[in-house]
Amino acid sequence: MANHKSAKKRVRSDNAKRLRNRYYAKSTRTAVKKIRGMENKAEAEKSLPKVISMIDRLAKKSVIHKNKAANLKGKLTRHVNNLQ
């Protein structure tokens, strides 16, 4: 258990950041699943930039690894381009 005042504050702030990161990561995963389930190419192309932006934001804040972000973006783009 934390003994110093600064360590106690660090525990509180880390917990808040963890919850925030979990929320953004989960909402991004849901958006990715939504795009993968889309059959309409126009609709998928419209929402792709928003999802890519979400992924980039997670990678920038080190919630996910930058290579994972690149892999996700590439696979999503390939999926959208292959839709009819």
Residue 39: which CATH number? 1.20.58.110
Tell me how far apart the alpha carbons of residues 79 and 84 are, in angstroms, rounded to a whole number.
10
pLDDT in tens, 22-31: 999 999 999 9
What pTM was computed for the model? Answer: 0.88
pLDDT in tens, 52-73: 999 999 999 999 999 999 999 9
Pure H helices in the chain: 5-37, 41-60, 66-82
The overall average pLDDT reported for the chain is 96
Q: How many domains does the chain have?
A: 1
Mean pLDDT for the stretch of residues 6-35 = 97
Domain that holds residue 31: 5-82
